[in-house]
Structure 1
Amino acid sequence: MRLKAKEIEQAVRGKLSSNVSFDTVITHVEFDTRKVSEGTLFVPLKGNRDGHDFISNAFEEGATLTLSDRDLEGDFPYILVEDTQKALQDLAKYYLIQVNPKVAAITGSNGKTTTKDMTAAVLGSFYQTYKTQGNYNNEIGLPYTILNMPKETEALVLEMGMDRKGDIELLSSIGRPNVAAITMIGESHIEYLGSRQGIAEAKMEIVSGLKEKGTLIVPSEEELITPLLANVTQKVLRFGLNDSADVSAKILEEGREKTTFTTPLYPDVIFSIPVLGQYNVGNALIAILIGTELGVPVEKIQKGLANFDLTKNRTEWLETAKGMSLLSDVYNANPTAMTLVLDSFSKIETTGRKLVVLGDMLELGEGSRGMHESVSAHLSPEIIDEVYLYGQEMSYLYEVLKETYATDKCHWFSKEDKKALMDSLGEKVTPTDTVFLKGSNGMGLKEIVDYLLNNH
């Protein structure tokens, strides 16, 4: 980045303090004082603490300029704005126009990050590409992502997350995508949105910023989306494994760390992805479509998918010191996502037993009990040898599974009993076992993953 103070003043509709030269150059933007250095524009945001309280710290670390929603005492150079968060978003819009990359935006109840990683690999095989880092996918993280992309960026992949209605509309208006994709409609945040219908409507807000000649990519199997497409004027493509999809796939091989498939879009090409599960084929179809829409040759698409890097904690295989295999997917969870991975885990071949550790799925609202109970249809004692359930909501699943599992093969622990769970699991597991762990991030299953890695 190389923006002059005068440009920033105009972009954020602010007013430069008298001690700032119009030609002062800003090379990066930060809201965390720990990342501040020379050339930084510091953006004080209001959270648990008011970022304005740290402006002096930012300048001690070398900041060149700050935004502020109030006049500052002392000699701090600043731009006065009405709202620092909105100013951050407005500056991101301005910088995006200056760089002018092709923009792909991805949202959905599950698979956003994996699809983002796949898409970035596909576009990165042909363009200078930048993508959302980690989970920087909200009203602060998305503009921060834009402002951190190198000025040479030709393609930008933006992950868009949400908690409530209106979130995706805001992010789409900032990102202005050429191509937008919805991975799936699940149950995440149903507590705030009331129903899957409400979630579908919220996800469809991604169209609000989609360019007039852009493309919307949606799952063909999702009936809730179909009526919402009536007023979409942009090109719409449907992906899925069924015949109704505009772009479908035929799975050739589904292994522990590799899935291969073909698609009628490129009938002579065999695609390979280095991850488990037919649900990931759907994510790969999105990446293929985005690559195709943005002009990436098929051989580059094929190479990008075969070698993409998956963000950590998203359905990753790990191996303990003694050789036990762990399938860790502990970043988030909803019933649709949990059962999809359970089904794939059930299909893989292992030399020893299969165990699962499932934590509460949070933010499911009044229907939480029934949704947790529904997971029972995907757990069979003939396939999954032992089940460990953790958290209050998982007690409902435990009551159902007691009907099919022997008492020494199905275990439940309250949230306060994490150590007891780890002790029990530690006594039972052997190096030949394969263990799948999944739950909402708030349940802290990463601690159990680390325990197994360090002790078994």
Structure 2
Amino acid sequence: MKSINYAKLAEIINAEVSEISNLKFQISNVCIDSRKVTQGSAFFAIKGENHDGHDHLKQAFENGAACAVCRLGFNSNGIPSDKPILFVDDTIQALGRLAKYVRRNSSYKVVAITGSAGKTSTKNMVSHVLKSKFKCYSSPKSFNNNIGVPLTVFDALDDTEILVSELGSNHPGEIEYLTNIIEPDIAIVTSVFAAHLEGFCSLDVIKGEKSSIAKGLKPGGRLFITDTLFDYCTDKKIKFEPFCKPQNVKIGGFESSFEIEGVTVQLPLPGRANVENALAAWTVCKNLGISASQFAAAIATVKPADMRMECLQIGSAKVLCDCYNANPGSMANALETLSLISQQEKKRAVFIFGRMGELGSQSESLHSQLGNTIAIHKIPVVLTIKGDAAIAAQTAHNTADYDISVNVFENLTQLCDNMYKFVKPDDIILIKASRSERYEAVVERLKGLFIG
């Protein structure tokens, strides 16, 4: 980001200024972690679930912070009087106001991506391809909330030509807030599933939330959406365009292919969902001047995002690590891919899973539907733990018309301790759960079993 003087910063974030004499110095970067502060940083003190940045002001200044942004009423006793502090009603809102200013005063184009699933994978594909032609920046992680999106803006270098950001949400209003910060030139909605129902209550509310990304579009900006949103956006008179359509789609377990404008694209990622993500990525890239042949050449080397249908070879076992997110739609996609790989490889499929989080009052019925999906794909070995996930396991057991081994454990530790009894070295193993369930522990235990 370009340097901003202290007085301008105070104006942008509507801050009250501490009593110091020098208001002429510059801030050159923004930081929320006192350990990572460098010379010229504006340190925003943010209160989180486990830590409060206000407790670390002294360290931030010792590390070179040019100033700190704190909440009104914060007692700055103990901080040297020559250290400038700006006081605001809400430091997270102030972070957003500064990000909006930085974005508006930057020359790069912005691609914003939201959806119930596929945000990070699509973001990675888009940025991977665009980097072959442009100076493109995207956050290295899932920085998709009211802190992560501003940090993405701040971290973009001054010569960035295209910034790619994902926007996430678990309650109404978040996407509209974020899109108004980042003001995209191109907005994408990858998918719409029943997800975060504790905050949204219904699929229709989710559709409204995802489509609200259009509210922040720059003049002349374009919205591209998944076909499951067509009717909603048409009814609400939201202007949109569809994703580009492929030809000769061939869905594979570990890789797939399709044609665009007569060019064959080899996608080295598993399953149908990644093909859909790739088509969203192609739609963006085409509209930013990437040719079909350029897209095909670049996407052929894309890597999976961590813990998102990540294919791991553990000994002789093939493991699909998909532990970052879980909702009914992504579960169905993952199970279809597991079944497809099992058939292609002629090896046994094993499904180790945890609950889908934030489904509210519909959690029981949606986990029961998951059990039906397990049975439809004839998964022979199922391992999970007590709670909502056990509902899925029991439904699979009750509806399966084939031999199925269903195993429900007291907790994740017990599952890991007993896993050796049920998995074999040459299995195809899908591990999937909501991030809060910490099922990456299963991957580590498998490494111990099959590698030693």
CA deviations 1:190-211 (Å, max 9, x no partner) are: 1221111111111111111012
CA deviations 1:3-28 (Å, max 9, x no partner) are: 13233233223354453644423222
CA deviations 1:30-51 (Å, max 9, x no partner) are: 1111211222110011234442
In 2, are the aligned partners of 1:125 and 1:303 still within 8 Å (CA)? no
Match of 1:216 in 2: 223
Cα separation, 2, equivalents of 1:366 and 1:402 = 23
Match of 2:71 in 1: 69
CA deviations 1:353-412 (Å, max 9, x no partner) are: 211111111111111111111123332498422111224012212222223277871111
Q: 2:349 aligns with which of 334, 348, 354?
A: 354
In 2, are the aligned partners of 1:67 and 1:81 still within 8 Å (CA)? yes
Cα separation, 1, equivalents of 2:212 and 2:238 = 14
In 1, are the aligned partners of 2:350 and 2:429 still within 8 Å (CA)? yes
Q: Which amino acid aligns with 1:228?
A: C
The 1:405/1:454 distance shift into structure 2, 3 A limit, reads farther
Moved more, 169-178 or 199-208: 199-208
Match of 1:314 in 2: 308
Tell me if 1:162 matches 2:162.
no
TM alignment of 1:283-322, pairs within 5 A: 283-320=277-314, 322=315
Cα separation, 2, equivalents of 1:382 and 1:248 = 27
Match of 1:238 in 2: 242
What secondary structure does 1:106 align onto? strand
Q: Which amino acid aligns with 1:180?
A: A
The 1:147/1:381 distance shift into structure 2, 3 A limit, reads closer
What secondary structure does 2:345 align onto? coil
Deviation at 1:93, TM superposition (A): 1.2
What secondary structure does 2:105 align onto? helix
TM (norm. structure 1) is: 0.91
Match of 1:367 in 2: 362
Q: Which amino acid aligns with 1:369?
A: E
Match of 1:243 in 2: none
Alignment root-mean-square deviation, CA: 2.1
In 2, are the aligned partners of 1:373 and 1:397 still within 8 Å (CA)? yes
Moved more, 156-165 or 305-314: 305-314
Q: Which amino acid aligns with 1:395?
A: A
Cα separation, 2, equivalents of 1:300 and 1:22 = 49
Tell me if 1:424 matches 2:418.
yes
In 2, are the aligned partners of 1:67 and 1:79 still within 8 Å (CA)? yes
Q: Which amino acid aligns with 2:104?
A: I
TM alignment of 1:104-143, pairs within 5 A: 104-143=111-150
Cα separation, 2, equivalents of 1:8 and 1:299 = 45
Q: Which amino acid aligns with 1:144?
A: L
Q: 2:252 aligns with which of 229, 238, 255?
A: 255
Tell me if 1:400 matches 2:395.
yes
Cα separation, 2, equivalents of 1:168 and 1:395 = 33
Give the length in aligned residue pairs: 440
Match of 1:227 in 2: 232
In 1, are the aligned partners of 2:379 and 2:404 still within 8 Å (CA)? no
Match of 2:385 in 1: 390
In 1, are the aligned partners of 2:375 and 2:396 still within 8 Å (CA)? no
Match of 1:34 in 2: 35
Q: Which amino acid aligns with 1:336?
A: G
Q: Which amino acid aligns with 2:330?
A: A
What secondary structure does 1:99 align onto? coil
Cα separation, 1, equivalents of 2:377 and 2:52 = 55
What secondary structure does 2:351 align onto? strand
The 1:344/1:281 distance shift into structure 2, 3 A limit, reads same
